[in-house]
Amino acid sequence: MDTPVMPADKTGPKADTFSIQNIGIIGAGQMGNGIAHVAALAGYDVLVNDLSREAFDTAVAIIARNLDRQVSKEMISGSEKDTALSRIGFAEGFSRFAECDLVIEAATEDEATKRSIFTELSKHLKPDAIIATNTSSISVTRLAAVTDRPDRFIGMHFMNPVPLMELVELIRGIATEDDTFEVSRAFVHSLGKTTAVSEDFPAFIVNRILLPMINEAVYTLYEGVGTVESIDKAMKLGANHPMGPLELADFIGLDTCLSVMQVLYEGLADSKYRPCPLLVKYVEAGWLGRKTQRGFYDYRGDVPVPTR
């Protein structure tokens, strides 16, 4: 491997000798395939685990299409695309991660699911492997506590869509060691990303600010202040946002939006974070946004149509 990651400014034995070469990713969904995309393109060997081979195959097809877009825009060459795809393999079980230096969890934003994953994952990793969670809101300290290596555990929150978004939030749990942080930061920088360091508070920085805005937009719709179309138009043209808040909620996934708001509401005990009942209703209906073809917009036709 020609891209080992080594922190330059540490002198401890782990920081001097430990490098990241092989990456494991848990979850082949939108976030997982995006992380696999950028890691493989940066020269890392990547193993992706999901519940089925079909989910992995779908992820690889998505990565190939996204790489094709980069080729068409002359951001990468055709040979770079082919090489990146050749670096991505399927991990049928966690035992395939035995030689990985870093495993990034990108499963659904549900704490019980993540805790179950980490409890099992720890049994299969080499002692110095780092575990990272892509959680967008859940306590890194709490997740780390179920592993056998809270000192080698960190929050590594990529933004969606991963290939396009520059930022990665790094979140240290209470037990995260300095060398774990430094190696992780160097790895993120090797992907061409920029890091922002957040304390381990509910929803961290980006979602602590972004999701209450989206939730307030849903309240604005719920209370009849404006329609879906008028709310999104107002924020795009009035605040110069590239995407309206309801359109953005559909892109993120309404279930994820609700999960983050619930973490904020329960973690900070402030009524201003109460999830809007309309957001709850949409999630209960299974209208989760783009991934289910219906949310605040209906995507089943040629042009998205507001559902309210």
* Nearest C-alpha neighbor of 291 from the set 259, 257, 255, 253: 253
CA–CA gap between residue 130 and residue 113 (Å, rounded): 19
Structural tokens at position 217 = 């937009």
169 is catalytic: yes
Q: Which among 105, 157, 182, 198 is annotated as catalytic?
A: 157
State how far the alpha carbon of 67 is from the alpha carbons of 1, 52, 61, 213, in Å: 21, 23, 10, 32
207 is catalytic: yes
* CA 290 from centroid of its chain's CA atoms: 17
Q: Which among 22, 49, 136, 198 is annotated as catalytic?
A: 136
CA–CA gap between residue 142 and residue 208 (Å, rounded): 18
Let me know the angle formed at the C-alpha of 184 by 182 and 186, rounded to the nearest 5 degrees. 70
Structural tokens at position 179 = 């060398």
Structural tokens at position 228 = 């879906």
136 is catalytic: yes
Q: Which among 22, 137, 207, 215 is annotated as catalytic?
A: 207
Place of tokens 């401890």: 12
Q: Which among 22, 66, 139, 169 is annotated as catalytic?
A: 169
State how far the alpha carbon of 19 is from the alpha carbons of 3, 102, 122, 125, 287, in Å: 9, 9, 19, 15, 43
Residues tagged active-site: 136, 157, 169, 207
